[in-house]
Every structure is written in structure tokens, then in C-alpha cells.
Amino acid sequence: MKKLISRRSFVKAAIIGTLLLFGKPALATELIEEESSSSNLLLDAAGGETIGKDLYDEAVRENLPEGRLRIYRPRMDEKLDVTFRNSKGEYDEQALKAINHLFRCHHNDEETDIDVRTIEFLNAVDKEIGKGDNLIHVVSGYRSKKYNDMLRKKMRRRVAKNSLHLYGKAVDIRIPDIRTKVLRRTALELELGGVGYYPRAGFVHLDSGRVRRW
């Protein structure tokens, strides 16, 4: 087999495979919509050769980041240490609900289901930085429409009318002792979604939309 071209390709393929195997095919399909097919992603990850099932299973096991997150919401002074996915790639629905709750809109406590791809993106960034046991500060998670409209009146162009925060598909984060530009670079290298850079405010935006940057 040819030399593997990038760890990023295998991490992305592993996340896609997990979504496919454990009941979230629609999310997997959206994640690979920029590829002509999921097999092309796996082909790319193998340096031009098709990955067989055994090899792919091994790639998933070896490259899928541990599904543990340590999260802190400063506005609410709430912490969560949760394993949302086990070593077999199976999602824990109760853990996902706990993440939904922590990511709730702080303005009115409204909750929504946080996109698993956003959680996986956040987790992949965490595991690529340091030892993967960082305490992630969530600046903004889900936003209710009422709160988003209020922000738009105050900040105008700085807040999108149809922000992905409205759909549980975005999160703004910072990690103490990790420079914001390092956080941004790590997220960009993973190519798992959108990445916004806000150095003055000291946070990075991650979302499960198409791969893009600003």
C-alpha cells in the first residue's frame, strides 16, 4: 500500500464511517458532499488505493479521536466532563443530551439538538492540541432566534441573520493557554467545516457547514 497522505484524511474518514455505522447516515452524507463519493475520501486517505473493510475498520479504530470532552460555559459557570462516543464508535444519547443542555442559549435557556458533526469537529480539534484533555471554554453554542435577532440589532453585520448557531451547528470556543491562532490553524487543517477567526475577541468559530474560512 502507498504511504498514507495525511492523518487529517483518516480522521475525517473515521468520523464519516462512524456516522454511517451508527445510525446517522444523513449527517455523514452532508459531511462528504464536497467529495464525489465517500469511497473517494477513503481512496484519498489511502494514497490512491481502495481501503478494504478490514483496513477501514482498523483506520477507524486507530484514527477516530477519543470521544471525551471537558467543557466549560463561563456565562453559566457550568462544567461538563462527558464521553459522548465509546471506543467502538457508538454514540451515547444521554451524553449528547447533556451536551445539548450545556450548549443551550444562555439568554432564555432554550435548547436544541447539537449537530453531531459539530461535536466531532470540536472533539477533533481538542485531540489535535496538547494531550486532548483541555478544558474547552464555550463562548457561544446554540442561539435562539430571539437572542440572535437581539444580537443583530446591537451588532448588525457582525451577526449573521441565518447563523448556523440557530440550528445547533456552530460553536465559538477558546482554550486557556492555547493561542487563538494555533486553535484556528488546527481547525483549518482538519477541514471538517467552517472556521472563523476572531483574535480581538479571543475565540474561534467552528461549524458543520461547508469547509470555508473567514
Question: What φ, ψ does residue 116 adopt, rounded to 5°?
Answer: -60, -30
Domain map (residue ranges) of the chain: 7-63, 67-213
Task: Give the pLDDT confidence score for residue 27 in this predicted structure.
Answer: 59
pLDDT value of residue 158 = 73
Q: At what angle do helices 116-128 and 180-190 cross, to 10 degrees?
A: 120
Per-residue pLDDT of the chain (214 residues; tens, 9 = 90+): 333 345 566 677 667 666 766 556 565 566 656 554 444 454 444 444 444 444 445 555 566 788 999 999 999 999 999 999 988 888 999 999 999 999 999 999 999 999 999 999 999 999 999 767 799 999 999 999 998 889 888 876 678 888 999 999 999 999 999 999 999 999 999 999 999 999 999 999 999 999 999 9
Q: What pLDDT does 3 receive?
A: 37
Contact 82, 126 (CB under 8 A): no
Q: What is the pLDDT of residue 139?
A: 97
**Amino acid identity, residue 146?**
K
CA distances from 197 to 49, 79, 91, 113, 211 (A): 36, 24, 30, 25, 14
Give me 19's grid cell: 456516522
Q: Distance (Å, rounded) from C-alpha 149 to C-alpha 103?
A: 18
Amino acid at 51: I
Using CA atoms, how far apart are residues 132 and 127, in angstroms rounded to an integer?
Answer: 4
How far is residue 43 from each of residues 4, 53, 124, 165, 207, measured CA to CA in Å?
A: 10, 12, 21, 33, 25
pLDDT confidence of residue 146:
93
- The pLDDT of residue 10: 61
The pTM score is: 0.79
Cell of 165: 448557531
Nearest to 163 by CA among 118, 126, 97, 119: 118
| CATH class, range 67-213 | alpha beta
